[in-house]
Structure formats: C-alpha cells, structure tokens
Structure 1
Amino acid sequence: MTIVSFTSLAYTGLSEIRGKHLHYSKFWNVGNSSENKKIENEIKISSRVGMLLFYGPAAAAAAASFFVPGLVVGLRAQLLSWALLVQFFKRVLEVLFIHQYSGQILLSSAVPITSSYLSGTVSMIYTQYLSQNMTQPSIDLKYPGLVLFLIGIAGNFYHHVLLSKLRQKNEKGYKIPKGGLFGLIICPHYLFEIIAFYGITLIAQTMYALSFALGTTVYLIGRSFATRKWYLSKFERFPREVKALIPYIF
C-alpha cells in the first residue's frame, strides 16, 4: 500500500501537469474536443454532493477507528486518528457551510479521489496498529507534528474562507483571489494542506504516512501548476509574479 499510494497520487499529479485533469472545481469541463464529447455522456453530480463524497467516507473511517476494540491504542495512535478525523470532518463542514459552487463533478473523477482519501485514512490507522508493539522511534516527533498539523489546518481553512468570499450570492464566475498568501501563490490552500499532511506524518512516524504525504505533495504540485496556467489563460491581468504553490520559487 505504501508503494501503491505514492505511485497513484504521483501519477495523477503528473497527469495534471500534462493537461489530463480530474474533472472538479474549475477543471470540471476542461478538455479537448474529444474529451468534451466523452464528458457529455458521463454521469455528473453536483459539486456539493461530489465533495461530500470526497471527504465524508474518510471522516467516517477516522471516527469509526475509535470504536474498534484494540485498534487505537496509545497516545500516538489516538493523536493520529484525531488528526485524520479533524482533517476530513473540517472539509465536510467547509463543503456544507463555506464553499461556493459553480460547476459539477464527474462521477468518474469523484470515485478515485474518494478511494484515495478513504484508503489513505484506513491504511494510516491500520499501519499504526501494526506498529504498536515495535520499538518506538528514537526521536519522538508527534508533538512537533501536532503543531505542524494545526498550522496546516488553520491556514487551509483561512484561505478557503477567503475563496468563499470572492463571489456574491448566486454568482458563478471565477475571480482572481486576494488576501492572505494569494498575493504570492495562487494555491495557498494546497500549500497548507500539504503542511497538514506532513504534520500527520510526524505524528504517525510510519513509512505509509510519509508515502501518502509525498504522493499528495506531487499531486498538489501538479494541480497547482495547472491552476496557475488556467488563471493565466482566463485573466489578462493575472499577476505573473504570483507563483503556483511555493512563494517566489514555484
């Protein structure tokens, strides 16, 4: 699962750079003519339902881990399950009460995202269970990981709120984001999501958690690259000094 998780996420990120997108958010109907014809015949769901499908099962799995006897044993395992629950339950709340929607999601794109988050959550928790009787790491990083996770979760939430305020009620179009780190990078919410997953990695201190964080990093690098390219194509006045994911660098 360590190999499968990293490989699948990294491949999807590279596909985003090549222009083969998962069809949600601003990319829900972006493609060449042959792809658009194919999209017309695919099953579509509302963005709200699709994003609930992204995060709901992973949040439910994290919550369920506390009710499986002997699964979440020890402080490290408890912190990991709590962090995963907060990570995905926060996203569910954002979907319900924060996000503004303008498009749809292809079911064929929703399924792999849902599967990735769900399998990643279950695998991280189960890997922690398998490691509970092993020698603990000589350097304990769960508390620095918790701090890093909280920074990531707060920054991600803050920039999602800024995005939600771009549109007035019933508006559907896209605007250039402002405020926070949007003056430096177009996807600060992705940057803080990456930070949150590395915080989770330090809490867990397992190879699987690291592989999931690395795979997520590659995917969000690809997605942010595609997002910046999209903004450049749609807005003549998009500031070219604004990078994709890392201020002043990328």
Structure 2
Amino acid sequence: MKLLVQTASGKELVAGGIAVQPSDSVEDLQKQLQRRKSQYHPSRQRLSLQPAPGEKRGQVLAPGTRLAEYNLQEGQVLIFKDLGPQVGYATVYFWEYFGPLMVYALLFYRRDIFYPAFRSKLQPQTLTQQLAFAFWTFHFTKRILETYFVHKFSHGTMPLRNLFKNCSYYWSFAAFVGYFLNHPLYTPPGLKQTYIALAFAMIWQLANFRCHLILASLRGSSSKGYQIPRGFLFEYVTCANYMCEVFAWVCFAISVQTLAVFIFIGAGGAQMCVWAQGKHRRLRKMFDGQDGRPKYPRRWIMLPPFF
C-alpha cells in the first residue's frame, strides 16, 4: 500500500507517496522517507496520523512499532514534522552534569583565581564547605552514572538546541552556587545543623535512586506497554523521583544555609512542577478506567501535602 506524507500545511513531501507493507516498522518507513529526502535523517522525523475532530495533533507513530498496529489504509495521509538537528539524550545529560562537577571543582580548588582580593589571606575551607563539595560531587557523579547504567529513554535523541540550553542552566547555577559557598567570607551554620541536614539530604538522594530504578524497570517492559508506576513512594506520589530530588536539595540548602542554593532549587523545582503536572495529567488520561483500562489511583502530584 502507499502512504501519503504531507507537512502540517498540507504540502506533499514525497511525490506519489511511499510504498510500504503493513508488516513494516515505523523505522522502515522513516528509512524509505530518508531515501527520497536525504536531508531528513530518521532522528529528525516525526510522523503522525491526521488529528481526529477536536484534536490539535494526531497520534505519533512510535519507533519500534509495526505499521499494522495503526490500521493504516491505502492512500492514508501522514503528517511530517522536521525536528531539526538532533543529539543523543545520553550525550546531553553527560555534558549538563559533567559541567557542574568541573565548574564547582575549579571554584573549590582555585580560590586564589576567583577571589583575588583575598589571595594573600586565604584560609583552608571549613568542614561545611568540604562536605558541601563532597555532596555536590556525589550528586552529579550519581547523575552521570544513572545516565549510562540506569535510565532508559523513550526517545533516542532530542533537539541539538537542548544541549546548549540545559548546559547553560546547570553550568551557570554551578558557578552561582559554588561562588558563594566557597567564598572566603562564607559563614557556615553550626556543625550539628550541617550534619543532620546533610544526612537527610543523602537519604533523599538514595530514595531518588530507588525511584529511578523503578522507572527504568517500567521502560524495560515494552511488551506490556506503558504502565502505572507502583511501589515505594510511587504508591503516594506520581513524580516521586522529583519529590526526592527537591527534598534532597532543600536539606542541602539547610545544611549550608546559603541563599544561592535556595534560588537554585527554587528554579529547578518550579520546572519539575510543570513536568510533574503534565505527567500526572497524561497518566490520568491514559488510565481512565474505561474499556478495560485500569484507573489511575488517587495520588499527590509531586510535593505532598501541597501539590
């Protein structure tokens, strides 16, 4: 059968359409499209069905599925969108997490460069500053290791611009937080406060790791389709991984008692709230209890008891 490929404006992308078999995969279709339009690598292609009445966008054809699953008919129109230059998720995550490690380390080890006015009277860092550096290093090292050994991505790539956007956020905040935490005039709170708050921060970090393992196990069950996250904190919170992340950084901020860290988690937490609300909405829509589908249980979105 032949499928017609058009842009959102209705312009025909491939004259005469593309001949496929129902047993072909979405990747097979994308490769054929690339043969006809060499500038569109499969990673740049998003193919979707025409939107149903009342919908803004049709169902996206997911890589790894057979065309037969979409009940496509002879002459059916698919909508094409060029996603632009792409880069692998793991590559983006590595650089956005490796940067903060290096930026903070520079500020920690080379204070003579970044605080020239205090060069002649620099004192060794306080224990709180040393523990803060250890926690920061642990967190972003954990992130890098999770990227390669835990996370399973639903998409192989993302737009190249995200590499620069994400790195700008993480690297600039690393410089912002690191500058004030390593400043010669930094005054730490009492060590008891630092110890207790950092202990709780580490507990939340380990809880976050447990949440990531649960989410990775769901990605590995592709034959069952998407599932409702269950177990551990997911029994109570939709985005338990985000909750643990926020609580860990709040505890860290208390342990060092620096406004810069509160600003950092405020910016990151606000973005996570947006992502969490979207995911919660999608899960409730996907698991609506209709036509044999399970009903999504009542849960907090991200930050109980507030959100």
State the TM-score, normalized to the length of structure 2.
0.62
- Residue in 2 that maps onto 1:12: none
Kindly indicate whether the alpha-carbon contact (under 8 Å) linking 1:98 and 1:164 is maintained by their aligned counterparts in 2: yes
- Residue in 1 that maps onto 2:181: 128
- Mapped to 2, the partners of 1:136 and 1:150 lie a distance apart of 19
**Any residues of structure 2 matched to 1:208-247 within 5 Å, and which?**
208-236=260-288, 237-247=294-304
- Mapped to 1, the partners of 2:182 and 2:80 lie a distance apart of 43
- Mapped to 1, the partners of 2:188 and 2:234 lie a distance apart of 40
- Residue in 1 that maps onto 2:133: 81
Q: Secondary structure at the match of 2:196?
A: helix
Q: CA deviation at 1:57?
A: 1.2
Q: CA deviation at 1:77?
A: 1.4
Kindly indicate whether the alpha-carbon contact (under 8 Å) linking 1:44 and 1:105 is maintained by their aligned counterparts in 2: yes
Q: Which has the higher helix share?
A: 1
State the TM-score, normalized to the length of structure 1.
0.75
- Residue in 2 that maps onto 1:13: none
1:97-124 deviations in Å (ceiling 9; x for gaps): 1111220222223322222222112211
1:206-245 deviations in Å (ceiling 9; x for gaps): 1111111222222212211111112223333342402211
- Residue in 1 that maps onto 2:201: 149
Kindly indicate whether the alpha-carbon contact (under 8 Å) linking 2:94 and 2:147 is maintained by their aligned counterparts in 1: yes
Distance change in 2, residues 1:114/1:248 (3 Å): same
96-105 or 44-53: which moved more?
44-53
- Residue in 2 that maps onto 1:60: 102
- Residue in 2 that maps onto 1:110: 163
* Alignment partner of 1:40 is 2:82: yes
Q: CA deviation at 1:94?
A: 0.2
CA RMSD of aligned residues (A): 3.1
* Alignment partner of 1:100 is 2:152: yes
1:19-73 deviations in Å (ceiling 9; x for gaps): xxxxxxxxxx89x65xx99972422222222222331211232344443255772
> What letter is aligned with 2:170?
Y
Kindly indicate whether the alpha-carbon contact (under 8 Å) linking 1:194 and 1:217 is maintained by their aligned counterparts in 2: yes
> What letter is aligned with 1:48?
A
Kindly indicate whether the alpha-carbon contact (under 8 Å) linking 1:231 and 1:238 is maintained by their aligned counterparts in 2: no
Q: Secondary structure at the match of 2:87?
A: strand
Distance change in 2, residues 1:165/1:135 (3 Å): closer
Kindly indicate whether the alpha-carbon contact (under 8 Å) linking 2:129 and 2:181 is maintained by their aligned counterparts in 1: yes
Answer 1 or 2: higher relative contact order, Cα 8 Å, separation at least 6.
1
Q: Which runs of 5+ in 2 are unaligned?
A: 1-45, 49-55, 61-78, 115-123, 289-293
After TM superposition, the runs of 4+ consecutive aligned structure 1 residues lying more than 4 A away are: 36-39, 69-72, 134-140, 169-173
Aligned residues: 219
Distance change in 2, residues 1:73/1:85 (3 Å): same
- Mapped to 2, the partners of 1:185 and 1:68 lie a distance apart of 42
Q: Which has the higher strand share?
A: 2
